[in-house]
């Protein structure tokens, strides 16, 4: 079976899952992050080398202050509480996005976890926090302009070196749970030739078997890259 080198994950549907169960929507987020940890383990065991998960988008700042605060604390807890597990399992953790917008304690947690896992290589786990595809592209453009790079020297390879995903393999498989069928401003440049897979299941219900079903579908795809 052909295993994707880099999976991009939309862990969507946490709030809808909670509402349908009569629970507070914040409980859905908690269940979703717990499932994300399991998902990373499933991916590692199947030979996936890179996993990038959408944790908090640039648009999510528009949600209620209560929800934003909860998500920031949950992300911090997720990083710190699992530090020993990441290191034990050989998982290298990295955060992409607008770090300067994050609470100071979360920024400190990011630095701590990234530094502690920087030599691991079994799985590269990337959390996209305060991330948006349009922001990523515009940020790269600004950096290129600030560097004074002549227009004629700007090509795809150079441009990609300024994206927040620089150094990572190009995503080849995007999995979105929750029943929605769109990219929602995530890795817009990087997803140019990625295979897309949409699951109707809300993310908290997405299982190891569902991953295997998705991987079987990826194995059937003929990737021609426009040729």
CB 185 within 8 A of CB 138: no
Q: What are phi and psi of 176, to 5 degrees?
A: -120, 120
Report which of 7, 87, 111, 112 is spatially closest to residue 54, judged by C-alpha positions. 7
CB 84 within 8 A of CB 51: no
Terminal Cα distance for the chain, rounded? 23
The residues that bridge with 57 in the sheet, in sequence order, are 131
3-state secondary structure of 131: strand
Q: Which of 60, 120, 139, 185 is catalytic?
A: 60
Is 69 noted as a catalytic residue in this protein? no
Which pairs from 157-165 meet CB under 8 Å and 24+ separation? 159/189, 160/189, 163/136, 163/137, 163/189, 163/190, 164/96, 164/97, 164/131, 164/136, 164/139, 165/52, 165/96, 165/126, 165/136, 165/190
Is 119 noted as a catalytic residue in this protein? no
Catalytic residues: 12, 60
């Amino acid at each position: 079976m052909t295993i994707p080198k880099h999976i991009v994950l939309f862990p969507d549907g946490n709030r809808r899952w909670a509402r349908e169960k009569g629970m507070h929507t914040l409980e859905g987020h908690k269940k979703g992050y717990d499932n994300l940890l399991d998902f990373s383990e499933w991916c590692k065991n199947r030979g996936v080398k890179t996993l990038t998960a959408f944790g908090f988008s640039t648009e999510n700042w528009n949600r209620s202050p209560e929800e934003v605060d909860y998500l920031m604390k949950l992300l911090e807890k997720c990083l710190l509480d699992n530090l020993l597990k990441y290191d034990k399992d050989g998982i290298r953790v990295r955060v992409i996005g607008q770090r300067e917008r994050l609470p100071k304690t979360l920024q400190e947690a990011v630095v701590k976890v990234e530094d502690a896992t920087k030599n691991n290589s079994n799985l590269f786990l990337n959390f996209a926090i305060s991330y948006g595809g349009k922001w990523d592209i515009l940020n790269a453009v600004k950096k290129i302009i600030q560097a004074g790079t002549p227009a004629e020297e700007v090509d795809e390879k150079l441009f990609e070196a300024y994206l927040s995903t620089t150094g990572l393999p190009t995503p080849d498989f995007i999995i979105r749970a929750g029943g929605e069928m769109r990219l929602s401003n995530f890795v817009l440049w990087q997803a140019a030739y990625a295979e897309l897979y949409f699951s109707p299941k809300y993310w908290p219900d997405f299982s190891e078997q569902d991953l295997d079903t998705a991987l079987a579908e990826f194995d059937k795809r003929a990737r021609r890259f426009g040729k």
